Structure 1
Amino acid sequence: MRRTRAEVDATLQIAKLNAAELLPVVHCLGFGPGAGAAAGDFCLLELEPALCQQLEAGHSLVIRGDKDEQAVLCSKDKTYDLRTADTSNMLLFIPDCKTPDQLKMEETHCNITHTEIFGFSNNYWELRRCRPKLKKLKKLLMENTYEGPDSQKEKDSNHSKYTTEDLLDQIQASEEEIMAQLQVLNACEIEGYWRILDFDYEMKLLNHVTQLVDSESWSFDKVPLNTCLQELGPLEPEEMIAHCLKCYGKKYVEEGEVYFALSADKICRAAAQMLLQNAVKFNLAEFQEVWQQSVPEGMITRLDQLKGLALVDRHSRPEIIFLLKVDDLPEDNQERFNSLFSLREKWTEEDIAPYIQDLCGEKQTIGALLTKYSRSSIQNGVKVYNSRRPIS
């Protein structure tokens, strides 16, 4: 049954409201026949203005996650946690409902608009910016590392391979974040599939390059791409040589010729990983001697090149060093700290920083993370951090 103008005026009088102070249009709401059933067919999503603008511009937002994962929503370049928020106020779905601002712009006489409620909800989805969940990306690509075109694995079609679309389907991150992480992992696209080079094969390529630099007496700051491809092409695919140069150097053009400036830090770091990967623990003094001997002449090894790759135990006698890669640590903040404190009870900020730097969100500092997940104390005049909770 629809309300009449007289009934509306009577209601205003009972409520002691002055009709002259209100907009002339009166909305009379009523539930449609399918309102209750339709309520479960819709989800409300609260978006920040930037995401609204992307949708209005025709871009897509994608929900990603397997059945055992907490869903995330991804734009082209950001990732958001997707969580349900309850509200004590019932939210109504009213098609073509006009807001007070829209009504003010219309010249309407005093009238009644009967509006049908299409559905309702007591909750909505809210978004919170989060770090992309990229640990799975490396895990998938490490299932089938690339060992070269002649390896037996390449002849066996049973090994898993992933295209860009496959990764977008399985990784809880935006496309830009995934592509950026592929660069960090030094992944390359081979025949349409993203692959990580097997470390031994990567070292083989790097040795070819450094030996050529040595034999030609080139500067490591000026390695010509074309000559490298010509000289090393008979040994390995040209795209692999170019990829190796890209991983360990910075590309630039001079007088129309493409050159790479090879990074001494990256080469020294790779040499250290090669030495440490097969040793549980290494005498630090012996390691430093062997490490320096294993890098090309003219390069100087330094322990600060190994941040996030290896850890030095100064309290051991003799002092030791061992492989500890930040990539192998848990992705969750609390689990990361639990793992680190189970490995070592007390950490200096200098030692722990490389292993938690990637946990910092927007505008978050290492100091803030340490304050939240650890306790500080002074030991022999040095500030150290230990766990806030017992570690089993």
Structure 2
Amino acid sequence: MSRSREEVEATLQIAKLTAEDLRSTVQCLTFSETFTSGDFSLMELDDTLCKEIEVGGSLVIRGDKGDHAVLCSQNKTYDLKMADTSNLLLFIPDGKTPDLLPTDQLPLSIASCEIAGFSNHYWELRRCRPKLKRLKKLLQENVYEGPENEKDGSASVGVERQPPMLSWKVLESELSYTTEDLLNQIQASAEELMDHLKVIHACNIKGFWRLLDFDYEMKLLNHVTQLMDSESWSFSRVPLKVCLEELRPLEPEEMIEHCLECFGKSFSEDEETLFALDEDKICRATAQMLLQNAVKFNLSEFQEVWQQSVPEGMTTRVDQLKGLALVDRTSRPETIFLLKTEDLPEDTQERFKTLFVMREKWTEADISPYIQDLCEEKQTIGALLTKYARSSLQNGVKVYNSRRPVS
């Protein structure tokens, strides 16, 4: 029922307030006849997410049944966590915040507002890392090994820079995924997903994302570097047009261009597209090729073979292998072996456990490449080590070991 002005003034007197203390509109609350406590959920959004909604953007909750749900904007991922509050939160559809009420003080006007529901908890958002480990696992179900190895017998490929949103389908019992399919299964925002597809050198072939078989990728790179050597090109100036023309009989143009994009950066000069190849990326890929079939490699012998295997003019350095290979300087002779960050657990606690099972004590320089991706927004490697490891001095060098017993 509605309150009269006299009732409002009597309530103000009991509360020891005067009409001058209030805005000119008094909102009187009553419970709706359809009042409910279970039909509404609240979510706390920061200014960035609010603005994204206000301009017509959308927020998507992603995750399979066994996953902890995350919320994704266009470019960020957030953990969803239920938070309780001791204050009762009321849902008032017709209620107005102070900035929407007139500022005139008198005379008082009375507005009736219905309470549609209430809650004593809400969804709290916390920025988190996208969960991308599943992405490579999905794409490895159907790697691309070259046109001659495609089961449909196709001798050509079409690479689409902006893949169409096609439905998920099965090709001869092998799974292929469109962008939409991946967004439905990977807990990451659209931008984070697309960025990671570039990192793992995925290629969009006929609307479907495919990983290139590593040996095939190295075969493409070898074609390019051999051509550079025969033409005496600088690796900082590889002409795209000539490269495609010369290698067309060997591989599809789209694959050659994809290889250049993976291992270099394009630029234009006199209306010609050139590529500057990345020395570190090529040296790193070559090292992976040499190490992938060996359990351990004598470090000095490896460095010699490695230097001989890269294109002339490029210089190999052990620091190019951060997060890819690990050097054991305690062994005699010193050795190196393949250890890729992407093969380690995605969960922070499990990652540290795996690393400390592998090696009891780590220097910060050695462990940093393997935990860098675990750092949350504004979190440093030092803070991460303080939380999950214990430090000590060994021969004057600071080392880290597990805080928990490692079996």
Task: Normalising by structure 1, report the TM-score.
Answer: 0.94
Displacement of 1:226 after TM fit?
0.8
Displacement of 1:298 after TM fit?
3.1
Residue identity opposite 1:11 in structure 2: T
The equivalent residue for 1:3 is 3
Unaligned runs of 5+ in 2: 154-170
Unaligned runs of 5+ in 1: none
Displacement of 1:154 after TM fit?
5.4
Using the TM superposition, name which of 104-113 and 179-188 deviates more. Answer: 104-113
The one-character-per-residue Cα deviations of 1:59-104 (angstroms, maximum 9, x if unpaired) are 1111111111111111111111111111111111112212334334
Displacement of 1:152 after TM fit?
4.3
Task: Identify if the C-alpha distance between structure 1 residues 23 and 261 changes in structure 2 by more than 3 Å, giving closer, same or farther.
Answer: closer
Distance 1:111 1:261 in 2: 71
Aligned pairs for 1:168-317 (under 5 A) are 168-317=183-332
Residue identity opposite 1:317 in structure 2: R
Using the TM superposition, name which of 23-32 and 8-17 deviates more. Answer: 8-17
Residue identity opposite 2:26 in structure 1: V
1:55 corresponds, among 39, 53, 69, to 53
Using the TM superposition, name which of 130-139 and 338-347 deviates more. Answer: 130-139
Distance 2:11 2:309 in 1: 90
Using the TM superposition, name which of 64-73 and 111-120 deviates more. Answer: 111-120
Task: Normalising by structure 2, report the TM-score.
Answer: 0.91
Aligned pairs for 1:327-346 (under 5 A) are 327-346=342-361
Using the TM superposition, name which of 332-341 and 14-23 deviates more. Answer: 14-23
Secondary structure, in 3 states, of the residue corresponding to 2:265? strand
Displacement of 1:148 after TM fit?
0.8
RMSD of Structure 2 on Structure 1 (CA): 1.8
1:325 corresponds, among 335, 340, 346, to 340
The equivalent residue for 2:146 is 148
Distance 2:113 2:272 in 1: 71
Residue identity opposite 2:5 in structure 1: R
The equivalent residue for 1:86 is 84
Secondary structure, in 3 states, of the residue corresponding to 2:234? coil
Displacement of 1:318 after TM fit?
2.4
Distance 1:27 1:229 in 2: 72
The equivalent residue for 1:123 is 121
Displacement of 1:107 after TM fit?
6.8
Task: Identify if the C-alpha distance between structure 1 residues 361 and 153 changes in structure 2 by more than 3 Å, giving closer, same or farther.
Answer: farther
8 Å Cα contact 1:153/1:159 also seen in 2 = no
Secondary structure, in 3 states, of the residue corresponding to 1:220? coil
8 Å Cα contact 1:376/1:386 also seen in 2 = yes
Residue identity opposite 2:347 in structure 1: D
| Percentage of identical aligned residues | 71
Task: Identify if the C-alpha distance between structure 1 residues 99 and 266 changes in structure 2 by more than 3 Å, giving closer, same or farther.
Answer: closer
Displacement of 1:366 after TM fit?
1.3
Task: Identify if the C-alpha distance between structure 1 residues 282 and 28 changes in structure 2 by more than 3 Å, giving closer, same or farther.
Answer: same
The equivalent residue for 1:77 is 75
Residue identity opposite 1:87 in structure 2: T
Using the TM superposition, name which of 256-265 and 98-107 deviates more. Answer: 98-107
Displacement of 1:106 after TM fit?
5.4
Displacement of 1:27 after TM fit?
2.7
Displacement of 1:224 after TM fit?
1.1
Matched, 1:352 2:347: no
Displacement of 1:108 after TM fit?
6.0
Distance 1:308 1:43 in 2: 42
Residue identity opposite 1:217 in structure 2: S
Aligned residues: 390
